[in-house]
Amino acid sequence: MKLDITSFTGEVPWLDSHLLEDTQAETAIDCRLTNGSLRAYRAPLDEQVLNDSPKTIYLYRNEGERYWFDWTTDVDVIRSPVADDPNNRVYYTGTVKGPRYTDNGLALSGGSDYPVNDLQLGIPEPDVAPVVSLSGTPLEDAEEVDAETRFYTYTWVDQNGREGPPSLPSGEIVVKPGETVDINVGASPGAVDLNITHYRIYTSTQVGVYQLCTQINNSGTIGTDTPVGVTSVVDETPMDRRGDILETIGWVAPPNNLKGLVVLPGGVAVGFSGKELMFSEPYHLYAWPAAYRLTVEYEIQSLAVAANSVIITTDGYPYVAFGTEPSAMTMERLDTAHACISKRSMVDMGDMALYVSPDGLVRIAGGRADLMTRNIINPEDWRERFQPDTIHACFHDGRYFGFYGNAVNGGGFIFSPDSGTFTELGTYADACYRDLQDDSLYLAIGDTIKAWDKGSELMPYRWRSKVFQGKPAAFTSARIMADSYDNLGFRVFRDGDLVLELQVASDRGFRLPAGRGSRWQFELAGTDTVTAVIVASSMAEL
């Protein structure tokens, strides 16, 4: 009688151990299962020590240098969608201060706990309407038909030229040729982290739009932009010298509890608050018009982007929103009710997304939702073993890296949606981050960021076979085929008892303790690459 294990695959907790296929494992911890061989990962490589244990990490690059941003809250970070942004801006939600943004000037100056500084995302509407009155003298030949009925409004503008929504309009004023308009506006918004530096004044036109007043007199200085704090100015703009049409009507700031920030092709940011799905103005991520919002039936939990669509998970049904413009998005509810129970479990995997439900890992792709772990682990074991409501995850090398629990009572797992391979990790991470530029996975373990599988030392694995069950048999000999024999332990269990434990030193066959058993199981532990395990009832069969 002979057993040949010439290929190694992962766990299938769904099945009792004796029902597994010969290549499948009852336990596979820290096992790199590629090309059928059993291999070891390299130990994580220390990258940087932080001031605290973070919940979110992000690798920021600027002028060839690397800086780690970290937060102790669940923060969603996106890069600026503007090509070749000279400020290298990033945006994020989930901080105690609400939606924020930072850039290479703010984030890297004045300290080493990055980002050092950031600013509020969004420009508010002025609190008060402008008050207007006439000054000057009408031209002698001016007639009533030459008079223009106007309304005025103004907008706040920050140091980067970002312009907010307009104030309420002024009262009506009728202006004849030769007359100018005195305008009184409110003081600055007062929020110190808005960096609002000036304002712009617009006037209504006969065609029903507001145009920029380009000749505003501020105590003798004529210009378009007026510094905040100057509350009284005069509009001397001729009708034929008016500037651009006001475009920021409805460009409201994002709500303070905006979450889940992602970005669509075309420079549109997407987030959520409660049951509302929200879209920004394209390439103006500080403006989130109310007209661009959609509502679902359940509380939204997380978002991911696939092509031109947004995948939305909730505490009920998942949804998909698709379209080319934020003003014309269409939303569709998927029929399968797979609730998302951990926001941080949602992972964008290119053309699909994976997230955690009470029953296992769910994949959304092509407008369908599928329970990917249906044939790997049953829902009861899933909930008992992996604390799914605590799972956070990253996508790396085509696989889903999930971490659950905490540093004291937790761990991790790797799931490959292509092969269905499921292995466990002996490492718990407080946060993880996948960097596309160097194709690396980074883990925050305690207060240290580590690069996964980058260390010089190999990390020991443990692979335990299925239970081979049948009529009582006597296996007397074994042989292990490996690339090396520097660190390779082998254990044999017979009818539940450990009967042999040794370090394998070569590919030569060796004897097993005498005895018959109806349940046999074999375990490999170490760092050497193993290609086969052969167990037989005689040395000749090896």
CA atoms of 443 and 47, how far apart (whole Å): 9
Q: Of 246, 269, 268, whose CA–CA distance to 259 is shortest?
A: 269
Domains and CATH numbers, the chain: 2-41+459-541 (2.60.120), 131-241 (no CATH)
pLDDT, tens digit only, all 542 positions of the chain:
788 888 999 998 888 888 889 999 999 999 999 888 999 999 999 999 999 999 999 999 999 999 999 999 999 999 999 988 999 999 999 999 999 999 999 999 999 999 999 999 999 999 999 999 999 888 877 677 789 999 999 999 998 899 999 999 999 999 998 899 999 998 888 766 888 999 999 999 877 899 999 999 999 999 999 999 999 999 999 999 999 999 999 999 999 999 999 999 999 999 999 999 999 999 999 999 999 999 999 999 999 998 789 999 999 999 999 998 999 999 999 988 899 999 999 999 888 899 999 999 999 998 899 999 998 899 999 999 999 999 999 999 999 999 999 999 999 999 999 888 899 999 999 999 999 999 999 999 999 999 999 999 999 999 999 999 999 999 999 999 999 999 999 999 999 999 999 999 999 999 999 999 999 999 999 999 999 999 999 888 88
DSSP string, 210-243: EEE---EEETTEEESEEETT--EEEE---GGG--
Tens digits of per-residue pLDDT, 85-128? 999 999 999 999 999 999 999 999 999 999 999 999 999 999 99
Copy the structure tokens of residue 289. 């018009």
Q: Is the pTM of this model over 0.85?
A: yes
CA atoms of 466 and 458, how far apart (whole Å): 25
Tens digits of per-residue pLDDT, 402-433? 999 999 999 999 999 988 889 999 999 999 99
Q: Of 513, 446, 508, whose CA–CA distance to 475 is shortest?
A: 513
Integer CA distances (angstroms), 493 to 58, 122, 207, 520, 531, in order: 46, 64, 88, 6, 21
